[in-house]
Amino acid sequence: MLIVMKSDATESQIQVVVKKIESIGLKAHPSHGTNRTVIGIIGNLEPVDQTPFIDLPGVAECVRVTKPYKLVGRELKQDKTVIRIGKAEIGGDETAIIAGVCAVESYEQTMLTARIVAEAGGRWFRGGAFKPRTSPYAFQGLGEEGLKILSEVRDRFGLGIVTEAVDEAALDLCEKYADVIQIGTRNMQNFSLLKRAGQARKPILLKRGMSATLEEFLLAAEYIMAEGNYQVILCERGVRTFGNHARFTPDLSIIPLAQHLSHLPIIFDPSHSTGRRETVIPMARAGVAAGADGLLVDVHPYPELALCDGPQALFFDSLRKMVDEVRAIDRIVRGYRALSLEQVEGYCLPQGLPTPIY
């Protein structure tokens, strides 16, 4: 259930409701929107009785949540979540570019790439220090040494650092060095790792499981939020289908649907979804046209020598090209989104029809 507070409810009235929820053994999640505060109740197996809450001062109404994901959904929070680290944003006014190496292989490879990302106007750098590899004999990442190199990228280039935690021990380390902690596709339903991510003090970038439905994806995000970490970014990275012309099949239709159901930002990874360099830029353009809040892209100074995912890594000059192209698309798409409903109605509605329900 959600308890919607009146727009002039005071902080002490909100606290009375929170205490009341906790007194019956449940958890309260207040969400402060621009106009009003909504308090989510979670932890109940049976429907919660609204009687103790409805007459409390400052309470406007009690609303049943219809979706299994309560904190992730738009019912609790209508305003979009924006993740901010310094000047870097995900979910804000422009498409976030998160580019970098698949794996941190060496100091030189990482610094060379970071310089190009910064020069191309990216504000975020990606790089794996812990790699989830299909083969146990493949390069597994430099571990903490890689995280130290990433920290230096932040200091030298002012880029926000995104890096993957493959297990709880790695998450402890990533929390120390990174700005955003990634949970990969193979771990989307690793529930103990999701709970640990929910206790982290850093935003979490959650990749969609390669065969996860939208509901499973949103419920994985709910695991993180239910532990108290509200800073979650969703990432579409392709799903398994019968098609074998690409590594995975990008499922761009999930972007507008996730945005409709959830206030969380959703970004798109064109690199891991197709696994082929020649498809990365066209799919990046398509992702931005579909409304993605950002792109996560692999780049490498010498892709043919890469220890991980070389065939999908962009060359340096193509990263600049990609950024130019997606910025152009971004301006058009955001222009459409900014059109007010009155403008749209005034333009296309014939006279005499009832106002459509939005």
Q: Given the complex with ligand PEP, which of 75 and 164 has the nearer CB atom?
A: 164
Mask for 100-119, x = binds Mn ion (CB under 5 A): --x-----------------
Pick what 184 binds: Mn ion, ligand PEP, none; C-beta below 5 to 8 Å, kind-dependent. ligand PEP
Pick what 89 binds: ligand PEP, Mn ion, none; C-beta below 5 to 8 Å, kind-dependent. none
Cα distance between residue 183 and residue 205, in whole Å: 6
Pick what 77 binds: ligand PEP, Mn ion, none; C-beta below 5 to 8 Å, kind-dependent. none
The footprint of ligand PEP (CB under 6 A) covers 102, 128, 132, 164, 184-185, 207, 237, 272
**Smallest separation, CB 55 to ligand PEP (Å):** 49
Handedness of CA 40, 45, 47, 53 (dihedral sign): negative
3-state helix, strand, coil in the chain (%, to 5): 40, 20, 40
Token representation of residue 318? 């193509």
Q: Given the complex with ligand PEP, which of 164 and 330 has the nearer CB atom?
A: 164
Pick what 203 binds: Mn ion, ligand PEP, none; C-beta below 5 to 8 Å, kind-dependent. none
**Smallest separation, CB 295 to ligand PEP (Å):** 12
Q: Given the complex with Mn ion, which of 293 and 309 has the nearer CB atom?
A: 309
Rounded to 5 degrees, φ, ψ at 331 are -60, -40
**Smallest separation, CB 184 to ligand PEP (Å):** 3
Q: Given the complex with Mn ion, which of 92 and 303 has the nearer CB atom?
A: 303
Q: What burial class does residue 152 get, using C-beta atoms within 10 Å of its C-beta: 0-12 exposed, 13-18 middle, 19+ buried?
A: middle
Q: Given the complex with Mn ion, which of 41 and 183 has the nearer CB atom?
A: 183
Q: Is 164 in the site for Mn ion (CB under 5 A)?
A: no
With H, G, I as helix, E, B as strand and everything else as coil, classify residue 179. coil
DSSP symbol at 229: -
DSSP letter string, 158-172: -PEEEEE--SHHHHH
Pick what 185 binds: ligand PEP, Mn ion, none; C-beta below 5 to 8 Å, kind-dependent. ligand PEP
Mask for 281-310, x = binds Mn ion (CB under 5 A): ----------------------------x-
- The single-letter code of the amino acid at 34 is T
193 contacts 187 by C-beta, under 8 angstroms: yes
Q: Given the complex with ligand PEP, which of 154 and 237 has the nearer CB atom?
A: 237
Using CB under 5 A, count the residues that bind Mn ion: 2
Nearest alpha-carbon partner for 161 in 142, 146, 139: 146
- The single-letter code of the amino acid at 291 is G
DSSP symbol at 56: S
Cα distance between residue 14 and residue 29, in whole Å: 11
Q: Given the complex with ligand PEP, which of 132 and 310 has the nearer CB atom?
A: 132
Pick what 9 binds: ligand PEP, Mn ion, none; C-beta below 5 to 8 Å, kind-dependent. none
Cα distance between residue 14 and residue 22, in whole Å: 13
Rounded to 5 degrees, φ, ψ at 34 are -70, -35
**Smallest separation, CB 235 to ligand PEP (Å):** 7
Q: Given the complex with Mn ion, which of 1 and 210 has the nearer CB atom?
A: 210
Cα distance between residue 135 and residue 101, in whole Å: 20
DSSP symbol at 299: B
- The single-letter code of the amino acid at 175 is E
With H, G, I as helix, E, B as strand and everything else as coil, classify residue 88. strand
**Smallest separation, CB 317 to ligand PEP (Å):** 22
Query: What residue is closest to ligand PEP based on CB?
Result: 184
DSSP symbol at 150: H
Q: Given the complex with Mn ion, which of 72 and 104 has the nearer CB atom?
A: 104
Pick what 285 binds: Mn ion, ligand PEP, none; C-beta below 5 to 8 Å, kind-dependent. none
Residues in contact with Mn ion by CB under 5 A are 102, 309
